[in-house]
Structure 1
Amino acid sequence: MASHNGLGDSVDVKIEKSTPTVTDITDTATETPVNSPPPTDDDTPVALENAVGVVPEIYNRFGRGRKRLYVAILSLCAIVSPISSTGSLTAVPSIASDFGTTGSVINIGSGLYVGMMGLSALVWGPMSTVTGRRPVVCTSIVSFFVFSVATAVAPSTSLAAFFIFRMLTGFGGTGLLIAGSGCIGDLYPPTARATALGWFQSGVLIGPAIGPVLGGVLVTYTSSWRSIFWFQSGVAGLGALLALFVLPETIHTYVWAGVPSKRKKARVFLAALNPLRLAALFKTWNVIAVALASSSLVWNMYSYLTPIVYVINPRVGLTTPLQAGLMYLAPGSGYLLGTFLGGRWADYTVRKWIGRRNSQRLPEDRLRSMVPWMGVGVPACMLIYGWLLEYNKGGLPAIVVVMFIQGFCQLMVFPALNTYCLDVMPSRSAEVIAGNYFMRYVFAAVGSAVSLPAINKIGVGWFSTISAVFLVAACLGVMWVIHTIPSQGGGEETTTT
């Protein structure tokens, strides 16, 4: 009987076989991530989930309404962590003044927050595969709530306490992003999941854009930066209640389900946390290239959102936190519009290429939908944005339009990249997502920390040019995956009948 051990690829086992051991898990950690098979012209049977209009029974456990409810809950939980990553940007001068330091130091704290989001992926990804999705979502949102409250009450005499609580909040928040993506992969078949993932990712990407707006409003009308963290505590508290009392377990198979004793469960869990397991997922170029593409987009987003208060405000005459926060509505509106189209466009592209190949699906086909947006749209916007600011041309309207278009283009890219992570290695999708988040948030942390000093050193025009070159190079890597990986073959099917 074919089954999944939860951490490796499909294996043939008999029901009476013993439960997974630490050795089993360690062995699967060295397996190479699956490449897609080359296109063929024969009449080989096609996996059910490859066929348009055919949905395997495993994806029909929940009705359409319940699936949408679960996606809504996951999106609410997922949005709080990205909001927190940028929510204090418009209040940086106030926070710096309260703690007796500079804006650059506070931005380093934001970089540490984002960096901790990346490091925590090493824990949350394997954990969601071993214990299931629900424990990760619940643990993550509850810890995020607790440390958000701790940040809100951090004494002004201890900058270290503020940084530590911020970092612990970031550690908790990433589990929502990783397990949430895994839940959507559990609920929807490959030909439809990008649309649902697009809604989920809209929260992840809109969060960094609307965070400064909310922060600006709260600081303006409460005269305290602490209100930002009380607000995110309230949203996290609501998300925690919904996750604890409404959200079910969605994973199809997980390791602990077959491990009877607590002692063996502990051994399995510790073995899964071995960071070499996650590193083993990056043995093939397709996983590396997609992770770099995601990283270039997140680097770009954080490196141009973080210094807005110090770069745009002086050039266009904005003086209050609320005015500065409104600038973030431009990319946020672009993200929102892209939400309605990005996932649908990726799913349409997959179905179109399934038709061209006589019902055979290749995960790489999904990536075709993002190439023009990432290779041309986002870099062009970044160049225009940077050099308009460098020479103080175009005024506020031109900057707003460019930021809006850039936000839209990014949401046309992310659903394809994230869904590819779910498709390329189904039995370890949460870990692939975790590795992807680890790399992207490392770049986000660096972007948050170095953007303002770099702009002060070389100018916003050249810094934006560096970001644009990074984006184009990463897109070329994705194009290489699209046109090379399927023709290499040598791997197993990424889907099973």
Structure 2
Amino acid sequence: MGDHVDGVVTSVSETRTNEKPYSVYTKKEKWLIVAMVALAGFYSPLPANIYFPAIPTIAKAFNKPTDLINQTVTVYLIFQGISPMLWGPIADRRGRRPVYFVCLSILVGSSIGMALCPTNSFWLLLLLRCFQSGGSASTIALGAGVIGDISTPRERGGYFGMFNLGPMLAPCIAPAVGGALSQNLGWRSIFWFIVIMVAVCLLCIVLFLPETLRSVAGNGSVPVSRHLRPIVPVVGRKVVMISPSAEELLNMKPKQSLNPFILFTYPDVLVLVTFTGLVYAVNYTITATISSSFASIYPSLSETVLGLCYLPSGAGMILGSSLTGKMLDWQYARIKANKGDDFTIEYARLRIMPLYLVLFIACVVGWGWCLQFKSHMAVPLILAVVLGWTSIGILNTTMTLNIDILQTRSSGATACTNLVRCSLAAIFVSIIERMHMAMGLGWTYTFWGGICTLLLPLMFLEMKMGPKWRRKRDLAEKADEA
């Protein structure tokens, strides 16, 4: 028998005599690790979004219609959903550092290829977009895995909130950068910019990021192979390395299947990925169509100004991510203290969700009607701030809970979330222009707001049934291990 404290099971004797910390890294070192993986996560959606404002220019350069160039966005989203299903489980078994190195190297190589791509080879552009996505997409799942490795549920909300800033800010900042680069230096400069930025990130990972996978490095005090060590060990340099005992090695050995698709058979996980996927896809659809919608409604805007129109959403995400992370940690501590034996992680995480979801739905509907009636540009930009705030608040909450309930498979769990949200986003983006033409902007986003309203019952279902589903699964897994 043992005590369950913050996701760690320890024996009673060990708790009393020789209690080991969940992670040996100090708070400052953890924040440095989070900063590195957040930087890597920034490059997952960056290549998909940085050339939104340059799509007309690229279409002209390749002598293709805009609809055909938009296929590069769809292809990117498809592979963004698929590739983490391979890399995430490997990272849960073999380590985070090697997978980071392989994925970022693929991204650098494919971006060089795109910068040099001949304008008479559209097929090559599509192919390189697949490799770009395959290299960049898994950085979100890898980062989520790292945070699950080093943090307890009590502090995980804050860390995950700051980590999620990277992948969520890219769709808002990237178009502004892409518009300026395309207008002043040409569309190829966009991909050279990616090469330089990702190469710097790869260098930081190789030099400084320690291996955090708990089945390999334990709580950070277990010696690891040379290729898993950072070249410059600025993180954890004061840690005393201790070889684990035979019993500890047995406990560290991963016991779950490498197949991540099995996670879709868990009802609580299925509810969470559905919730996350729909909110992400609806928000991504709005983000992806800002430039085209604004260009038709406000025709005097230049490429650079169209890119700047994405910044209000980014500002909302910065506020929402930092405040939601702190709120999740505060809610966890307060509810755990008040509920005692009745405490459940599902209730602690999802208690603030109704407010976020209702605000998000109202902004989605308002966005459509503001554009329909061609209101002053300030109105949709203000709504974009609230959309950024609420969407990242919802995503941080659901994805943090997903890591809480699947801590030892955090990369695989995030890969499943990525598959659902990117697949839905690809579908929504591919049909949104047709919906605009058939239904008008107002009714299109009223429809999407209505779809999101259906998520409210799922949230309450997760709070009520999630603990029962989780306990049943844990008992079955313990029985299998026995």
TM exceeding 0.5: yes
Shift of 1:153: 1.2
Q: Kindly, what percent of the aligned residue pairs are identical?
A: 23
Question: Is the aligned partner of 1:208 residue 2:147?
Answer: no
2:272 alignment counterpart: 290
Question: Unaligned stretches of 5+ in structure 2?
Answer: 9-14, 226-252
Partner SS, residue 354 of structure 2: helix
Matched to 2:189, the amino acid is S
Map 1:91-490 → 2, pairs under 5 A = 91-222=54-185, 224-254=186-216, 277-358=259-340, 361-392=343-374, 394-486=375-467, 490=472
Q: Distance in 1 between matches of 2:54 and 2:384?
A: 21
Shift of 1:182: 0.4
* Residues 302-339 of structure 1, C-alpha deviations (whole Å, 9 max, x = no match): 21111222212221234311011111011111011112
Q: Distance in 2 between matches of 1:376 and 1:46?
A: 39
1:49 alignment counterpart: 6
Shift of 1:378: 0.7
Q: Distance in 2 between matches of 1:57 and 1:174?
A: 34
- TM-score computed with the length of structure 1 as normaliser: 0.82
Q: Distance in 2 between matches of 1:429 and 1:68?
A: 19
Matched to 1:59, the amino acid is Y
Shift of 1:458: 2.2
Residues 212 and 289 (structure 1 numbering): CA distance in 2 closer, same or farther, change over 3 Å?
Answer: same
- TM-score computed with the length of structure 2 as normaliser: 0.85
Q: 2:41 aligns with which of 78, 103, 107?
A: 78
Q: Distance in 2 between matches of 1:87 and 1:443?
A: 20
* Residues 214-270 of structure 1, C-alpha deviations (whole Å, 9 max, x = no match): 111111221x11111111111100011011111110011059x9xx9xxxxxxx99x
Q: Distance in 1 between matches of 2:68 and 2:155?
A: 44
Partner SS, residue 192 of structure 1: helix
Q: Distance in 2 between matches of 1:332 and 1:461?
A: 23
Q: Distance in 1 between matches of 2:291 and 2:326?
A: 34
Whether the 8 Å CA contact 1:304–1:451 is kept in 2: the answer is no
Size of the alignment, in residue pairs?
Answer: 436
Q: Distance in 2 between matches of 1:444 and 1:494?
A: 34
Matched to 1:251, the amino acid is L
Partner SS, residue 44 of structure 2: helix
Matched to 1:456, the amino acid is M
Question: Unaligned stretches of 5+ in structure 1?
Answer: 3-44, 261-267
Q: Distance in 1 between matches of 2:359 and 2:281?
A: 16
Shift of 1:106: 1.4
Q: Distance in 2 between matches of 1:133 and 1:69?
A: 16
Matched to 1:108, the amino acid is Q
Q: Distance in 1 between matches of 2:476 and 2:449?
A: 33
Matched to 1:132, the amino acid is G
Matched to 2:420, the amino acid is M
Residues 94 and 370 (structure 1 numbering): CA distance in 2 closer, same or farther, change over 3 Å?
Answer: farther
Q: Distance in 1 between matches of 2:21 and 2:107?
A: 32
1:12 alignment counterpart: none
Shift of 1:359: 6.0
Q: CA RMSD in A?
A: 2.8
Shift of 1:484: 2.4
Partner SS, residue 284 of structure 2: helix
Q: Distance in 1 between matches of 2:262 and 2:388?
A: 33
Shift of 1:438: 0.9
* Residues 386-418 of structure 1, C-alpha deviations (whole Å, 9 max, x = no match): 0111122x3111111111111111122122111
* Residues 431-484 of structure 1, C-alpha deviations (whole Å, 9 max, x = no match): 111111111111122223222233233222222122212222224212211122
Residues 254 and 441 (structure 1 numbering): CA distance in 2 closer, same or farther, change over 3 Å?
Answer: farther
Q: Distance in 1 between matches of 2:351 and 2:201?
A: 32
Residues 309 and 385 (structure 1 numbering): CA distance in 2 closer, same or farther, change over 3 Å?
Answer: same
Q: Distance in 2 between matches of 1:205 and 1:328?
A: 12
Whether the 8 Å CA contact 1:295–1:443 is kept in 2: the answer is yes
Shift of 1:487: 5.0
Matched to 1:234, the amino acid is I
* Residues 93-145 of structure 1, C-alpha deviations (whole Å, 9 max, x = no match): 00111111122221221111011010102201111111111111121111111
Q: Distance in 2 between matches of 1:347 and 1:493?
A: 27
Q: Which gives a bigger RCO, structure 1 or 2 (Cα 8 Å, sep 6+)?
A: 1
Matched to 1:424, the amino acid is I
Shift of 1:424: 0.8
Partner SS, residue 143 of structure 1: helix
Whether the 8 Å CA contact 2:51–2:175 is kept in 1: the answer is yes
Map 1:4-23 → 2, pairs under 5 A = none
Partner SS, residue 47 of structure 1: strand
Q: Distance in 2 between matches of 1:57 and 1:471?
A: 44
Q: Distance in 2 between matches of 1:160 and 1:418?
A: 35
2:32 alignment counterpart: 69
Residues 76 and 494 (structure 1 numbering): CA distance in 2 closer, same or farther, change over 3 Å?
Answer: farther
Q: Distance in 2 between matches of 1:89 and 1:463?
A: 21
Whether the 8 Å CA contact 1:213–1:322 is kept in 2: the answer is yes
Q: Distance in 2 between matches of 1:134 and 1:229?
A: 25
2:243 alignment counterpart: none
1:492 alignment counterpart: 474
Whether the 8 Å CA contact 2:149–2:212 is kept in 1: the answer is yes
Residues 128 and 447 (structure 1 numbering): CA distance in 2 closer, same or farther, change over 3 Å?
Answer: same
Partner SS, residue 191 of structure 1: helix
